[in-house]
Chain A
Amino acid sequence: MAALRSETAIALEPRRLPRARFRLKEGTAFGWLMVAPPLLFLIAFVGYPFIYGIWLSLEDRSVARPAVFIGLGNFIADARDPVFWQVVRNTFTYTIVATILKAAGGLALALVMNQNFRMKNLVRAMVLLPFIVPTVLSTIAWMWILDPAFSVLNWFLVHMGVRPPGPSWLGNPYLAMGSVIFVNTWRGLPFYAITLLAGLQTIPSDLYDAATIDGAGAWHRFRYVTLPLLQPVILIVTMFSVIFTFADFQLVYVLTRGGPANATHLLATYSFDLAMTAGQLGHGASVALTMLPALGLMIIALTLYMRRR
């Protein structure tokens, strides 16, 4: 293989060299000319806000008063704030549990859908609906499903013998966390399922045939053929989803506003409350920035991994 490649390289050499140089000269000007406007836009509206956010987090800045530079004061205040630590724990619980549920459920659904059946495309389209529909709107539906007085779930539970009015899905701290995790799973599972299904479909069927001939049962085929070949897709989808689950805002804001008693507050909703509701921009910015170490690591890892592929 290596020998073959070097031979073709030599064969192509005289043609390739001038071509590359010709592209380099004119291409550079054209390339930068094209790239400059969108790049400036992103620098102005992503790069600058990012740096400005770091600056804000170092200030004591409320809506009505002039800003005062206080160094790491906001972060020190965060570290001493028991609510902040509760919010950090919530964010990790939410991310970890929801990710496991979505990955396991998504893989299961992908495997189920990787069989031949009628109306497969229709089913696939329907399965993706939770992911397509604006999150806020579907979350409003969930709010009604989990309503303290008129929950449809409780109607069934009560008719099955649970003491009325049944569990308070969004009123009990543990149930509320369970509920937001469940709704997040509902919304995100299709993303896993459809992407993993696409991954499953790239696995050549002769690999399964070969494994079957070698005496592998269904479990062994899954364990030694499917999983290893699917692993890169699983890794990317999971990292992707972890980033956006970790920084989730909409769902919790709509369903519980972080309540009851901060039991479902995530870093994003807590920083929103501080900055937008209480008007403490600097303090809010510092809470938002505490997401950065974990997020930054994930983002860098995923970016490098996707580029390597």
Chain B
Amino acid sequence: MVVRGGWRVRALQLWLPLGFFLLFTLFPFYWMAVTSLKPNAELYNTQMMPLLVYHPTLKHYVDLLTQTSFLLWTWNTMLVAVISTAISLVLGVMLAYPLARINFPGSALIAIAVAATYLVPQPLLFIPMADIINRMGLGDTLTSVILTYPTMLVPFCAWLLMGYFKTVPHELEEAARIDGASHFQAMWRIVLPLCTPGFISAGIFAFTLAQNEFLYALIFLTKTDVRTVPVGAIAELIRGDVFYWGQLMAAALLGSVPVAIIYSFFVEHYVAGLTAGSVKG
């Protein structure tokens, strides 16, 4: 749409509302950063103007990295997110490829079941899941979350990849089949390489979902050395009624950085994944 009427109209229609929304969106991040740099004397002084830092210090970051297990939690989070994303991509392809490209008996029903599974929220499953994980003897192991995160990620990856697989013309695969390639070879050599953007989208999205997961991690991981960042921050940086706000904000910021960096490299793919289900074309 072309905006007419000069800078006044443009300020009113674009910059003013945009500025408002950006302030709304970004203020908590600014607040995290400012708080994490304040010495305690400033942090708990209600007389000082809170939006600025007068004597910035890295003390909270140093304390966070040396006195807590934050680095270990970060490592755990990464490890869990990478492995469960990898598992989900492999299982997702195995589901999505036949459903998208081969019309075999039962495929329509499975496709519906997969979509429905994707929409089942965790709170419906966590109580029985806790009991199952306990009985399997997997409590307080990273295996417990590596095993359960794909329950959310596989249906999502499959759903997203189906869309990409459907766009590859059948003729390509058939040409390969006529030349003697097996179904598997046609998939592996012809179709999958053409769907690289789909893998990046699904991978990025699954990775951020795994980083974000809280409920299963809260229930299954009760020991410091197996915790992920969200659970560690909630369970160990808040000690009783004492809140170490400087450290908490440093943790919130540092915990968000890996996701934000990866996301910033792949924004387009992320948005493609986000909108895949709801927007066509």
Contacts and interface: CB of A to CB of B under 8 A. Distances in A.
Pair from one complex: yes
Interface of A: 19, 23-24, 26-28, 30-32, 34-35, 37-39, 41-42, 45-46, 48-50, 52-53, 56, 108-109, 112-117, 121, 123-130, 132-138, 140-142, 144-145, 147, 149-150, 152, 155, 186, 190-191, 194-195, 198-199, 202, 205, 208, 233, 236-237, 240, 243-244, 246-247, 249-250, 253-254, 267-268, 271-272, 275-276, 281, 284-285, 288-289, 291-292, 295, 298-300, 302-304, 306-307, 309
Most chain B CB within 10 A, of A23, A38, A41, A147, is at A38
B121 interface: yes
Contact of B102 (A23, A52, A113, A275): A23
A2 B215 CA distance: 53
18 contacts: A34-B95, A35-B107, A41-B151, A49-B132, A53-B127, A115-B3, A115-B14, A125-B263, A128-B271, A134-B212, A135-B214, A147-B245, A240-B277, A240-B278, A275-B127, A281-B131, A295-B121, A307-B115
Interface in B223-240: 229-231, 233-234
A51 to B, nearest CB: 8
B196 interface: no
Given A30-B102, A195-B274, A302-B119, A108 B124 contact: no
A38 B154 contact: yes
B112 interface: yes
Contact of A53 (B32, B46, B115, B128): B128
Contact of A208 (B1, B208, B260): B1
Nearest to B87: A41
A35 B22 contact: no
Nearest to B34: A152
A208 B1 CA distance: 8
Contact of B281 (A34, A48, A202, A295): A202
Nearest to B267: A125
Given A134-B211, A142-B28, A303 B115 contact: yes
Contacts of B242: none
A41 B154 contact: yes
Contacts of B116: 299-300, 303
B127 A285 contact: yes
B94 A38 contact: yes
A45 B174 CA distance: 36
B113 to A, nearest CB: 8
Contacts of A121: 267
Contacts of B252: 137-138, 140-141
Interface string B5-34: 000000001100110011011101101100
Nearest to A269: B123
Nearest to A302: B119
Nearest to A27: B102
B127 A34 contact: no
Main secondary structure of the interface of A (DSSP, over half): helix
Nearest to B77: A134
A144 B31 contact: yes
A153 to B, nearest CB: 10
Contact of A31 (B13, B17, B107, B131): B107
Contacts, number: 289
Nearest to B107: A31
B95 A267 contact: no
Contacts of A26: 183
Interface string B248-281: 1101100110011001100100110011011111
A159 to B, nearest CB: 9
Contacts of A194: 271, 274-275
B180 interface: no
- Which has the most chain A C-beta neighbours within 10 Å: B46, B105, B155, B211? B46
B124 A289 contact: yes
Contact of A50 (B111, B119, B125): B125
Nearest to B212: A134
A137 B255 contact: yes
A134 B264 contact: no
A35 B95 contact: yes
A56 B127 contact: yes
Nearest to B280: A309
A45 B147 contact: yes
Given A35-B94, A53-B125, A144-B249, A134 B229 contact: yes
A108 to B, nearest CB: 7
Closest 5 CB pairs of A and B: A247-B121, A268-B123, A31-B98, A136-B230, A31-B104
A42 B116 CA distance: 12
A220 B26 CA distance: 33
Contacts of A32: 98, 104, 106
Contacts of B128: 49-50, 52-53, 56, 285
B279 A112 contact: no
B120 interface: yes
